[in-house]
Amino acid sequence: MNKAYLLLGPEEGDKKEKLDAIKREIKASYPDHEEESYYASDDSASSILSSLRQPSLFSSFRIVTINHLELAKKDSPLVKGLKEYVKTPQEDVCLIMISIDSTSFFSAEEEKKIEKTIFYEEFESNKINWIRTTFRKNFFAVTEDAIEEILSSVENNKAEMKNLIDLISSYYRAKDESKKVIDGDDVSAVITREKGENGYTLFKAIAKKDLEEALMIISSIALNDPMRLVGTLSTLTGEFRLTENAIELKEEGYSDKEIQKEARAITTSSFSPKGFNFRRRDGIFLCMRNYSKADIRRIIIYLIKSDNELKKAGGEAEDIFKDIVYNIIINAGKVNDRDIYTPLEVKLV
């Protein structure tokens, strides 16, 4: 078993499968293992590096995961400390470093001590074939408009696409045993029925700067399934990334119609799909009008930083998500002190 892993790239579905496989292997060998999860920042550097060297009093093995390593600067204390650590890792620790970037800040010599894997997003044609194959495993054929609806309705990774495909398949298997083909209306109907409000409706409310509507959407999502809040945050991040590129295209002289066809979410991958459908169009163009390019870039960084906090929130996830959205609409992601309760009482009463 390796003592250090570096999981890179934008394909979150395959990355998660690798992460789960590593943890299963460790769990089989060390049933009493402990897990610690951190977010990469200058503030967390001391805690992470101390934890890596500090032996556990209660378990024989530990997993230390560092998320969003792409936000750490190359000359930061965290990166310098990790470069030193991988040279002489602890025997009772597995270090897992995760980044959406496809490049590593480790030297070739340091990488000999690490198992590095890069998870690239697949070409659009491969994703289309993957969706067809996944439906076929569930005993359904799928139309072209259904595939387009799926690609535009969830985050661009296999994990979320598979969840939606399984949901659609289960729904129509129970509803109509004779049904063999899934079309775009079928996909849309399940999304509306099962999810109601989602990350895209929330993004549109944020784009309008309608705080009251945005908070009600969050409450609706949490009431239906609190576990969806993490995926909703991921959708918001993707839509703001797409808007960032749409603004750049606008600055280059593209028309609104050309922007809708050509815009792609700005990521480290060159394979993100181009364009957005009419359901997302209003939100994207509203966001372009109501937030500056600097605002959007700051909001993207803020959402990425908030991801780990939301994942750890447990029963407080809804309140934390409302804090996040308040900061986006009112402060464009600027404010760190997110005490929303007094302002909200004044605004909503």
pLDDT digit string, tens, across residues 87-99:
999 989 999 999 8
Residue 276 CA to residue 39 CA, distance in Å, equals: 31
Residue 142 CA to residue 247 CA, distance in Å, equals: 34
pLDDT tens readout for residues 121-140:
766 667 888 899 999 999 99
Confidence class for position 269, pLDDT limits 50, 70, 90: very low
Dihedral sign of CA atoms 287, 270, 7, 11 in order:
positive
Residue 213 CA to residue 220 CA, distance in Å, equals: 11
CA distances from 195 to 140, 221, 276 (A): 22, 8, 20
Looking at the predicted structure, is the pLDDT value of residue 146 above 60? yes
CA distances from 25 to 19, 29, 34, 51 (A): 10, 7, 14, 22
Residue 335 CA to residue 349 CA, distance in Å, equals: 24
The residue with tokens 């400390």 is 81
Residue 148 CA to residue 273 CA, distance in Å, equals: 11
Task: Tell me what pLDDT residue 2 has.
Answer: 60
Stated length of the chain: 349
pLDDT tens readout for residues 33-81:
999 888 887 677 888 999 898 887 788 899 999 988 887 888 899 999 9
Question: In the beta sheet, which residues pair with residue 101?
Answer: none
Residue pair 239/283 in contact by the 8 Å Cβ criterion:
yes
Non-local CB neighbours of 253 within 8 Å, separated by 6+ positions: none
Residue pair 121/10 in contact by the 8 Å Cβ criterion:
yes
Confidence class for position 270, pLDDT limits 50, 70, 90: very low
Confidence class for position 345, pLDDT limits 50, 70, 90: very low
Enter the DSSP assignment of 5: E
Comparing CA positions, the residue from 306, 301, 304, 331 lying closest to residue 320 is 306
Confidence class for position 193, pLDDT limits 50, 70, 90: low
The dihedrals phi and psi of 272, each to the nearest 5 degrees, come to -65, 140
